[in-house]
Structure 1
Amino acid sequence: MAKSSKYISFDAAGKLVSDEATAPEAPEAEGALKSAVSYALDAIAEAAGSLPDTAAALIGAKAPGTPEDPEEAVLHVARHVRSTIGDDFAVSPEMRAAKPRALVIASAKNARAFVVPMEAAGLDVVFATVDNRSLDGFARRTLPTYNLGLTTPQVSADLLMGNIYTVLSAAKACGASLIFLDSATAPLAEDRYFLRHAAKRGLRVFAPAFEGTMRMGWVELLTAEGDGACSVPSEAPWEEGAAPTVDDDEGPTHWRRCHKCKLFFDKQEMIDEGHRCPACGTLQRLRSDERIAATVDAGSFEEWNAQMPDSNPLDFPGYPEKIADQRERSGLEEAVCTGRATIAGLPVAIGVMESGFFMGSMGHVVGEKVAALIDRAIEERLPVVVFCASGGARMQEGLISLMQMAKVSCAVERLSQAKLPFITVLTDPTTGGVTASFAMQGDIVLAEPNALIGFAGQRVIRDTIKQELPEGFQTAEFALEHGLIDAIVERSQMRSVLAQLLALHAPADDPTRIVTYHSVMDALSVGAGAYGSVDVAPEAREENERLGAEEEAGFLRNLAEAVPVVGEFIGKPEEGEEADAADRRELERHARREARKSGISGEVEAGSAWESVQIARNVHRPTARRYIEGIVEGFIELHGDRAFADDGAILAGLGWISGHPVTVIAQEKGVNLTDRVARNFGCPQPEGYRKSLRLMREAQKFGRPILCLVDTQGAFCGTEAEERGQGNAIADNLVFMAGLTVPVVSVLLGEGGSGGALALAVGNRVAMQEHAVYSVLSPEGFASILWKDRSRAPEAAQAMKMDAASVLACGVIDAVLSEGEGPAHENPDEAVAAVRDYVREAYKELADLSPEELVRQRQERFAQF
């Protein structure tokens, strides 16, 4: 039973005899509703029938010309209902006028049990059905019914029977003043929105006091005190042109239609559900005013170019009239709204597309407004965020619509040349020409969960090439898996994620403001207007640089609440995740199997290079993820090569080190066997290196330092990797890193194997952990090639001088980092702290070098070998 419900009791005459506090308790029985009072069906019928205006007041039909006389009014309304719904009921108008009508929402097994006692009590009973299959054959032939509708793949019979709007519409259509549910635990019985709407319409709702029987009486379900009608002011029209059929005077203020299952729901309920459909769970499309209210600081939005001249380049018949009709129905001017705002105090130029206006199609006005938004952002030195939602080009404008793709792309290129960030958010749907232009041109491309994202429509694909499409095709999750977007962000976290991304891309040369992870989080926590400029006095800058060291214990404060990205956010793992005994045993078994395959046996000599190899490969050694958690604040993982896939062996994203934005690129082996398999045991594919290259380019564009964490036995070698250009991908990384104009610090955490490791190690500073190894090839491969004997791997490790001390002596690295009292897997916190301190110090040393000096220093460093 709903917690918001209470119970009342009437006597046989229908008079209220007591309230909940003084009513006699129902007898104790199995399954009884505790503290509920109940009353018989005849009391309900008499109470309802004793009110002469029951039919006129409760039917909700408001029949025109209703007489003043109560009895005549009842007959008049009955005739009006008959003319409205036809002869569906085998009951005369006089009987309908004399008997209160009850709409019964019951399962087929309960229908027979309900009809006899209800009719005997003087109720005119109507049973709700779905597809005329909700009742058995006997019931369908003998009982008056009202069909709630047809089921669809998205809408089951249970969803229709439990939908507030559908049931209220049925009650109105069939003239019911009472609604009976066959269980006190039915969805509608526990739905405060249903009870609220029923009470507002004068409908009384009942359920059995005891499960499985009506003999012990019925209870009336009412909303709790203070749970009255809730007004949600809105100018929003009915979506997709649908018109309300329940209480038209409420209009769109209280109802919203799900675009997926097509059912109507209480608008406040959808808001309370996070704008998800209560039935099918689909994330609902937002209007621009709703999106702006949920994203930017209150009162900060200033609209730009609210109105622009319309265009009809093809003189398409009826197009101007369609535009006018769209404006009248939607209350919108065009398919995009643009302007200036702040998010956590950070200024931004923002555009929000409107799927409710011509399905967000891009015509001349849309292209012009987006291009004008970008050009004004360039003029005012603002970052740009655009929420995309579009069905594609606007057909009525023909080739001129197509040209908008090029127009906006030219504007995006101008924004890029101005070194200003462009962030796009793909919402449902983002398709066609918008997908093929600015939606996918962002420096960062985010998406909402389950959003439809694609170029060609699914129907077009099926009709054109007769191809069956895979499950989940053209969803945000599909795009993430195939490397096309950076991340999926829950709507509730979008404001926070955008604030962090704007802060991470804030101009580094602005001398009037210090932007840090904590300053942004503080601004988000206390609301708009809390964020302010900070003078950069020398002592303030020094304090900012000491931030991490002074707050080491709380370095990841509030990360879980700050920027979680659906399934993609890298924060602290679940408590005990890495220490899980089952995971450890499975990793150890796998390591033993691999060791047996190698054919290498014998004792490992203490202090030897081969011992370092074994330690570097230890399955409990902390991976790159652990180091990111201990070094980087507010880390947001970015995904994909924007062309083929997302490679889990490369873990990359943005965050803060000592209050400064950084790009982090790491080779990640995985924390357990399942994770290692998913990440290919840290052996990157070509798309992994192309992902790292993409992030390096973005870092250089915005002058952001780069941290590379190396831990791989080598790039993946396989047919598919060769087909996709493994050598090309590594080569592209090497040549681009050679010319990077930002500081690059690389640290080898474990294994550094061949070109797969070097692809992330062309740095201004390169260091190794004490027990890491670095070599041209694995010792097994070296022994196999030179001596045709893999079992001589320990000898090969010594010959290659691959341990950290030997590599330092060769001058290949700048420092060996202590792992503490023992190897890193025995004291991970000490190992992480040593890497963190080295990275901070390295960045301080490189901070005063110009871009040209950074390139020269890096190239001279490698020219000496």
Structure 2
Amino acid sequence: MRQRKQNYITLSCDGEVVPQRGAAAPAPESADVAYRLSRMVEEAAAALPLAPNALEAADASEYTAVAPGEAQASSRARVAADAQAGAPATAAQPVALVMARSKAAKRLLQAVADAGFCACAVYTQDRRGEGYLKAAQRTVCLGERYSDALFGNGHAVLQAADECGAAVVLLSDEALPLAEVDSFLARAAARGVRVFRAMSPDAPALGWILCSTDKPPLDDGTWRTCQRCGLSFDEASLASGHSTCPSCGGYFRMSSAERIDDTLDAGSFEEWNRSVPETDPLGFPGYGGKLAAQRAKTGLEEAVRTGEGRIAGLRVAVGIMESQFFMGSMGSVVGEKLCRLVERATDERLPVVIFTASGGARMQEGLVSLMQMAKVSCALARHGEAGLPYLSVLTDPTTGGVTASFAMQGDVVLAEPGALIGFAGQRVIRDTIKQELPEGFQTAEFALEHGLIDAIVERSEMRSTLAHLLAIHLATARSNRGAHEPGDCAILVDFQTVRDNLEHGTDTYNTVTYGLLEPEGGLPFGESSPWRPRRAQQLLGGLAGRLERKASGAVSPKRLGKVLARGGFDAEGGASLEVNGAPADISAAAAVDPGNRAWQSVQLARNVHRPTARAYIDAFVDGFIELHGDRSFGDDAAVVAGVGWIGGRAVTVIAQEKGADLKERIRRNFGCPQPEGYRKSLRLMRQAEKFGRPVVCLVDTQGAFCGMEAEERGQGNAIADNLLALAGLRVPVVSVLVGEGGSGGALALALADRVAMQEHAVYSVLSPEGFASILWKDRTRAPEAAAVMKMSAAEACQMGIVDAVLSEGPAPAHENPEAAAEQVRAYVSAALAELAEQPTEALLQARYERFAKF
């Protein structure tokens, strides 16, 4: 009876109703309060304070019900006060904005109206005829088209509450997540609007929980609208989520101030060359006035800001372009500021990070603008010659002369998802070729697929990615100098300390300020977001394309799956092991010599369950960052390359990857590299040499891909270039054959200072099937060919081809992958430690003599 009189009920922490047996009987400390609609309307009508709640009325002894007459008198007094102040008259009946549209919405609206509220329902224009709206006394439109995200958007709900003059907002259905959003609750409280959520989504009329927050609104009420989904969010909420739309995952363009707050350690940025005198080389009419107008509008000096800061404690020179100032166009001042940034970084031996965002050259400055491309390129060339890294981050948009110069000149080129990246504008291209452009053209994903950039990095991962890349450079830079220099940070010496610093050490302004603030929005930015690279649809060149077209006699994926299950695939033929269209029967030939260890190793090396190179990378390369592309044509998935740490030592890793299952094997061309794969490895070798990083190669291929397109793109040239580079590479090189080592395709990663083989790996001039076919015209004699060629690891070691045979453990690698990986890790670590002690010239001489003896 008492609960009914009080019009609220008390709930325990597990959601059970707590009996009230006496006026002074206290409720448990963990109890909460669920309001009945009648009590909510009384408090709204009388403008009472926020009592009772779980803390203020724990014993419920202070509660006094408000008589209906008193509530009405209070309401009339409020109306009179509003009229005297000149404000619009307030209806005596308080308005409740009901955020519900499920099948129960009609019943809920009726219950709200019966309790004494003016029930206001929400709708969208495309669903304005829904039946539940007839049960409402008032309606308000949220937008043009319905979406779950719209009903859960804080800005839309608050705007609707303002429009209908709501005193109370009732959250149900898609709007329920707002009950946990601090920024929304703080803004509602500032408006004097109380927010309740349904105690039970299935029975919302049962009771309502008051939603509140101790956090005040963190900004001045500014909102930003996503150009992709049309929803608006407050700036503080966006800052806490890296200016990423909480609904659709689209990226808001960031100003330099926002980028600094999101990337650099809090308080570490020091601006350089803030003001540089403007020039007007063409005397372009009105140019000076437009510059002044841009400064007044944006509060910026020019289209780029430069300076120094720290990322996870590491000092770095930073340039950030401003798309909101003349669309980031590159004039003489932009070029001058960037040039001064790079020159000072060279003098102070600092790495450079530049975030690009530009529409290209500034037309009002003519050829002088064009010369900035050459000017900045010259400065970067000197910076690179000093052995210093330059990391370029492409943001939306990066086009024109910026793309054709410093944006693409980084040692590592990263891009944000979905960023517009291109040289010529799409309209110009359409007018030139008279064709429509494909979907996704000139995006970051397009650039990655065509090998033009190293990686696509989401904003949430950008700071940590930059920190690890910079730390890898710092490790090798120190080893080359042999001493610390001013500006070095002792905490950044290996992968673990970088990770610890990112998690528990220095932090960004955004994290410090907004770290505990939940972003507004309904739908999370998850794996299904269209902004994520569609890897399953990318990089399917070479054999995969041939399989799909079923051209040149290639077999179907289903048929290949069966062949792989039997352990056979012939790289040279690009098809299964067949004779006259039927599977070759080689079991009889194998049975002739059960002691044929070479053929046994061939079978084990081809075992579909054998760990691939990527499995070894995952096992012992800490913080591996994969770098893609040959920067000219494509990204060959058969070659995985990047940087990371092995045993605390920064390394470049290059591996041939077959893929762990049939789908992956098709995508990776069965581990048979294309020319662009070897050119990618060459690029990473040269980068390692520049920064003094040792190179670790994992070899596992039946051979380089043999096909018309590979020949057209210079397969032989690409392998030759790799061999020439490895012969003179001025850093240690260690190679391990972890599976098949077929012909020149394998040797392209095996011209090394130390070469080892796992005990069941194989190494040969070509596949045993190819050997048997060429010399004996009989592919079924492949087991005999394997024995003749001495393909096993033990035989290769006896001939001095390899330096060591690595145990795979008590069984083959696919039965105990951890033990096999540990043997590879131990060998690589020991070899790198030994080679690191040798002078460069002695290293090169020993490498020459190693291969000269053959």
Deviation at 1:102, TM superposition (A): 5.2
Number of the residue aligned with 1:509: 480
Deviation at 1:127, TM superposition (A): 4.8
Does the Cα contact within 8 Å between 1:25 and 1:37 map onto a contact in 2?
Answer: no
Number of the residue aligned with 1:57: none
The 1:279/1:464 distance shift into structure 2, 3 A limit, reads farther
Alignment of 1:501-540 (within 5 A): 501-506=469-474, 507=477, 508-513=479-484, 515-528=493-506
Partner deviation per Cα, 1:251-309 (whole Å, 9 max, x = no partner): 43xx3433433432133433444542222222333333333333333433221111222
Partner deviation per Cα, 1:112-155 (whole Å, 9 max, x = no partner): 7678787787766665443364334996999765444434xxxx
Partner deviation per Cα, 1:343-392 (whole Å, 9 max, x = no partner): 33332211222334333332222222111110111111111111222333
Alignment of 1:156-171 (within 5 A): 156-171=146-161
SS in 2 for 1:786: helix
Deviation at 1:527, TM superposition (A): 1.9
1:196 aligned to 2:186?
yes
The 1:397/1:169 distance shift into structure 2, 3 A limit, reads farther
Equivalent-residue separation in structure 2 for 1:844 and 1:181 (angstroms): 63
Equivalent-residue separation in structure 2 for 1:191 and 1:287 (angstroms): 25
Q: Return the match for 1:787 from 776, 787, 793.
A: 776
Between 614-623 and 731-740, report the one with greater CA deviation: 614-623
Equivalent-residue separation in structure 2 for 1:373 and 1:478 (angstroms): 30
Amino acid of the structure 2 residue aligned with 1:201: R
Number of the residue aligned with 1:589: 565
Q: Return the match for 1:776 from 760, 765, 771.
A: 765
Q: Return the match for 2:128 from 134, 145, 149.
A: 134
Number of the residue aligned with 2:216: 229
SS in 2 for 1:621: coil
Does the Cα contact within 8 Å between 1:10 and 1:39 map onto a contact in 2?
Answer: no
Does the Cα contact within 8 Å between 1:490 and 1:566 map onto a contact in 2?
Answer: no
Equivalent-residue separation in structure 1 for 2:697 and 2:287 (angstroms): 55
Equivalent-residue separation in structure 2 for 1:421 and 1:269 (angstroms): 34
Which structure has more relative contact order (CA 8 Å, sep 6+)? It is 2
Equivalent-residue separation in structure 2 for 1:834 and 1:109 (angstroms): 63
Equivalent-residue separation in structure 2 for 1:644 and 1:47 (angstroms): 69
SS in 1 for 2:626: strand
Equivalent-residue separation in structure 2 for 1:73 and 1:414 (angstroms): 74
The 1:350/1:10 distance shift into structure 2, 3 A limit, reads farther
Equivalent-residue separation in structure 2 for 1:47 and 1:822 (angstroms): 75
**Structure 1 residues without counterparts, runs of 5 or longer:** 1-7, 28-32, 53-67, 82-92, 233-249, 530-564, 569-584
Partner deviation per Cα, 1:451-508 (whole Å, 9 max, x = no partner): 3333344455456545444444433333323222222333333333222212222313
Does the Cα contact within 8 Å between 1:424 and 1:439 map onto a contact in 2?
Answer: yes
Does the Cα contact within 8 Å between 1:705 and 1:742 map onto a contact in 2?
Answer: yes
Equivalent-residue separation in structure 2 for 1:522 and 1:189 (angstroms): 33
Q: What number of residue pairs does the alignment pair up?
A: 742
Alignment of 1:487-498 (within 5 A): 487-498=455-466
Amino acid of the structure 1 residue aligned with 2:469: L
1:350 aligned to 2:318?
yes
Number of the residue aligned with 2:585: 599
Deviation at 1:109, TM superposition (A): 7.0
Between 755-764 and 260-269, report the one with greater CA deviation: 260-269
Q: TM-score, normalised by structure 2?
A: 0.77
Does the Cα contact within 8 Å between 2:306 and 2:338 map onto a contact in 1?
Answer: yes
Number of the residue aligned with 2:144: 150
Between 136-145 and 729-738, report the one with greater CA deviation: 136-145
Equivalent-residue separation in structure 2 for 1:412 and 1:785 (angstroms): 52
Number of the residue aligned with 1:379: 347
Equivalent-residue separation in structure 2 for 1:105 and 1:619 (angstroms): 55
Alignment of 1:636-651 (within 5 A): 636-651=625-640
Deviation at 1:796, TM superposition (A): 1.7
Does the Cα contact within 8 Å between 1:9 and 1:39 map onto a contact in 2?
Answer: no
The 1:206/1:465 distance shift into structure 2, 3 A limit, reads farther
SS in 2 for 1:756: helix
Equivalent-residue separation in structure 1 for 2:619 and 2:40 (angstroms): 67
Deviation at 1:73, TM superposition (A): 5.3
SS in 2 for 1:300: coil
Q: Return the match for 1:677 from 630, 649, 666.
A: 666
Number of the residue aligned with 2:696: 707
Equivalent-residue separation in structure 2 for 1:774 and 1:120 (angstroms): 84
Alignment of 1:65-214 (within 5 A): 71=79, 74-75=82-83, 97=91, 99-101=93-95, 103=97, 105-107=99-101, 127-131=121-125, 133-136=127-130, 145-151=139-145, 156-179=146-169, 186-188=176-178, 191-205=181-195
Equivalent-residue separation in structure 1 for 2:175 and 2:155 (angstroms): 19
Q: TM-score, normalised by structure 1?
A: 0.76
SS in 1 for 2:393: strand
Deviation at 1:652, TM superposition (A): 1.3
Deviation at 1:728, TM superposition (A): 1.8
Deviation at 1:412, TM superposition (A): 1.5
The 1:463/1:168 distance shift into structure 2, 3 A limit, reads farther
Equivalent-residue separation in structure 1 for 2:613 and 2:115 (angstroms): 74
Equivalent-residue separation in structure 1 for 2:252 and 2:362 (angstroms): 23
Partner deviation per Cα, 1:378-407 (whole Å, 9 max, x = no partner): 111111111222333334444433332222
Once the two structures are aligned, what percentage of the paired residues are identical? 57
Number of the residue aligned with 1:582: none
Number of the residue aligned with 1:716: 705
Number of the residue aligned with 2:751: 762
Amino acid of the structure 1 residue aligned with 2:35: V
Amino acid of the structure 2 residue aligned with 1:644: F
Does the Cα contact within 8 Å between 2:741 and 2:762 map onto a contact in 1?
Answer: yes
Does the Cα contact within 8 Å between 2:9 and 2:33 map onto a contact in 1?
Answer: no
Partner deviation per Cα, 1:710-757 (whole Å, 9 max, x = no partner): 211101112222222212211221222222222222222222111111
Equivalent-residue separation in structure 2 for 1:288 and 1:526 (angstroms): 25
SS in 2 for 1:299: coil
Number of the residue aligned with 2:37: 39
SS in 2 for 1:699: helix
Number of the residue aligned with 1:813: 802
SS in 2 for 1:509: helix
Deviation at 1:519, TM superposition (A): 4.2
Partner deviation per Cα, 1:191-236 (whole Å, 9 max, x = no partner): 554333222101244677776888x5774x6333x4342325xxxx
Between 662-671 and 846-855, report the one with greater CA deviation: 846-855
1:734 aligned to 2:723?
yes
Equivalent-residue separation in structure 2 for 1:207 and 1:392 (angstroms): 51
The 1:204/1:674 distance shift into structure 2, 3 A limit, reads same
Between 424-433 and 789-798, report the one with greater CA deviation: 424-433
Equivalent-residue separation in structure 1 for 2:807 and 2:201 (angstroms): 69
Amino acid of the structure 2 residue aligned with 1:589: A
Equivalent-residue separation in structure 2 for 1:487 and 1:184 (angstroms): 36
Between 838-847 and 502-511, report the one with greater CA deviation: 838-847
Does the Cα contact within 8 Å between 1:107 and 1:135 map onto a contact in 2?
Answer: no
Equivalent-residue separation in structure 2 for 1:652 and 1:128 (angstroms): 53
Partner deviation per Cα, 1:582-615 (whole Å, 9 max, x = no partner): xxx9896252795672331221522442223223
Equivalent-residue separation in structure 1 for 2:626 and 2:620 (angstroms): 14
When the two chains are superposed, the root-mean-square deviation of aligned CA atoms in Å is 4.0
**Structure 2 residues without counterparts, runs of 5 or longer:** 20-30, 49-75, 485-489, 508-531, 536-560, 570-575
Q: Return the match for 1:363 from 331, 336, 348.
A: 331
Equivalent-residue separation in structure 2 for 1:192 and 1:135 (angstroms): 33
Deviation at 1:680, TM superposition (A): 1.7
The 1:138/1:659 distance shift into structure 2, 3 A limit, reads closer
Number of the residue aligned with 1:533: none
SS in 1 for 2:421: coil
Equivalent-residue separation in structure 2 for 1:503 and 1:848 (angstroms): 22
Equivalent-residue separation in structure 1 for 2:503 and 2:126 (angstroms): 53
Does the Cα contact within 8 Å between 1:489 and 1:566 map onto a contact in 2?
Answer: no
Number of the residue aligned with 1:579: none
